[in-house]
Amino acid sequence: MTAAVLAGAFALGWLSVRYAWWRPAADAGWPRLLMYHMVSAPRAGARFNGLRVSPAMIERQLRWLRDNGWQSFTVSELVECGNSLPQKSFAITLDDGYADNLHAALPLLQKYGCKATLYLVVERFDRDWSVQRKAHHDGGELMREPKLSDAQVQMMLDAGCVELGSHSMTHANFLYLDLAATRQELADSKRILEARFGVPVKTFAWPFGLYRPEQVRLVEEAGYSSAVTVREGVESPGFWQPLELKRVKISGKDNWLAFRLRLRTGRKGWR
Ligand SMILES: [Zn+2]
């Protein structure tokens, strides 16, 4: 009996750390910025399956959001509307520029009437940027993943529901960039994307979510009005820092309970 009680308590403790069901729900007036990368099935033995959300799962998520009264915005719209946003507003962000964003994500965005912000790396081909974060992430998995061609990016923009944002020139690790190189990554990517696609680029995504405090003002200097991080959470538009916006991580390794917890509280586990 005692052993069973102990085992039960242990299981409850473990579940409560893994799934922070006890965390209070974040205010419905605080927008959820959902962070996606690839929309594809997980691959056996792959390192980055957390970045792959299956088409079936994202469809279930978008259907649930629609059926429960959530309204979709681009990141720039969220920042511009700020305190006048309706309850239950959210943004979909797609980082890096994977080809499946066109083939798998766009049809679902259109089916469920959703907008998205595509954070594109300008020089995204034949580049193994995962080693910039951790040297041993040198398997080339993300480098081999097909990327959107410029023509495919244009097709996404032509759909009318996608905002273009910058994810830097090279997906550099900004922790290692001096201020001159930082300015260059920020300004060049904005200028090139605007010239190439003929749209304003007003928002930026920090590569790997890594940067130093003194780099934040350079984003504004380069002409952006917002930037997203990979820090998890949701915030009040009255108090958020537009150049350091938190996001809700949507992981390909999550089950449905985890998605619902992340949406409700901004994160899954206790940390
Ligand atoms: Zn990225």
Query: Which runs of E-coded beta strand occur in 46-176?
Result: 52-53, 71-73, 89-96, 116-120, 162-166
Q: Is residue 246 within 8 Å of residue 205, measured between CB atoms?
A: no
DSSP structure class, residue 89: E
- In the reported structure, the alpha carbon of residue 175 is separated from the centroid of ligand 1 by a whole-number distance in angstroms of 14
pLDDT at 1 over 70: no
- In the reported structure, the alpha carbon of residue 120 is separated from the centroid of ligand 1 by a whole-number distance in angstroms of 8
- In the reported structure, the alpha carbon of residue 172 is separated from the centroid of ligand 1 by a whole-number distance in angstroms of 9
- In the reported structure, the alpha carbon of residue 125 is separated from the centroid of ligand 1 by a whole-number distance in angstroms of 13
| Residues 4-53 pLDDT 10s | 888 888 888 877 777 777 778 889 999 999 999 999 999 988 899 999 99
- In terms of C-beta density within 10 A (0-12 exposed, 13-18 middle, 19 or more buried), how is residue 269 classed? middle
The model carries a pTM of 0.94
Q: Is residue 112 within 8 Å of residue 19, measured between CB atoms?
A: no
What are the tokens at 100?
Answer: 């499946």
pLDDT at 271 over 70: no
pLDDT band with cut points at 50, 70 and 90 for residue 210: very high
pLDDT band with cut points at 50, 70 and 90 for residue 254: very high
Integer angstrom CA distances of residue 111 from 135, 193, 251, 257? 40, 27, 22, 24
